[in-house]
Structure 1
Amino acid sequence: MKTVDCLGDMCPIPIIKTRKALKKTEPGETIKVITDHSCVLEAIKSNFKKCNITHEEVINGIWEISITKN
C-alpha cells in the first residue's frame, strides 16, 4: 500500500499529491493518505467519488484515508 503524507499540507496540495499517487495505482489497489486537516477529508471525498474511500481518525486530529481505485 502506498502512503501519501499530507501532514501539515493545506488544500489543494493534498488533492494534488493524491491525484499523482492514484495515477500510478492500478485498479483494485489502495493508497493511504495521512492528514491533520479535516477539510482534506471532505475535499478527497468530493474529488474522488469514483473511488472507494474509508477513513479513520487514528489520533485526535489525525486522519488516515484509504482510497481504493476502481
Structure 2
Amino acid sequence: MKNRDIDCVGDICPVPLIKAKINYKKISKGESITIVTDHSCSGQSIKEAFKPTDASIKIEEEEGIWYITITKG
C-alpha cells in the first residue's frame, strides 16, 4: 500500500481540496494520499467533498499542521 504526501502548507482554501481531488484520482484502491496543510478548514471541506465516495478520512493535527489522510476504498 502506497501513501503520497501532498504539501499544501501555505496554500489557502480551496487549494488543498483541489489538490486532494486531483491526486485521489491518481491512486488505486487501498492506496492513500496525505494532505499536509496549515489551514484547519481544509479537513472539514475535504471530509464533506469525499462523503459521496468510499474513501476513509483520518485527520491529525500536530503543532498547527494538519495531516489529512485519504484512503481509497
> Same fold, TM exceeding 0.5?
yes
TM-score relative to the length of structure 1:
0.91
Kindly report which structure 2 residues correspond to 1:1-70, keeping only aligned pairs within 5 A, or say none.
1-49=3-51, 50=53, 51-58=55-62, 60-70=63-73
Identity of aligned residues (%): 48
TM-score relative to the length of structure 2:
0.88
Could you list the runs of 5+ residues in structure 1 that have no partner in the other structure?
none
Task: Give how far 1:61 is off.
Answer: 1.1
TM-align CA RMSD:
0.9
Task: Give how far 1:34 is off.
Answer: 0.4
Could you list the runs of 5+ residues in structure 2 that have no partner in the other structure?
none
Kindly tell me the number of residue pairs found equivalent between the two proteins.
Answer: 69
Deviations 1:6-64 (A, max 9, x none): 10111111111111110100011111110101111111110112210011112x21111
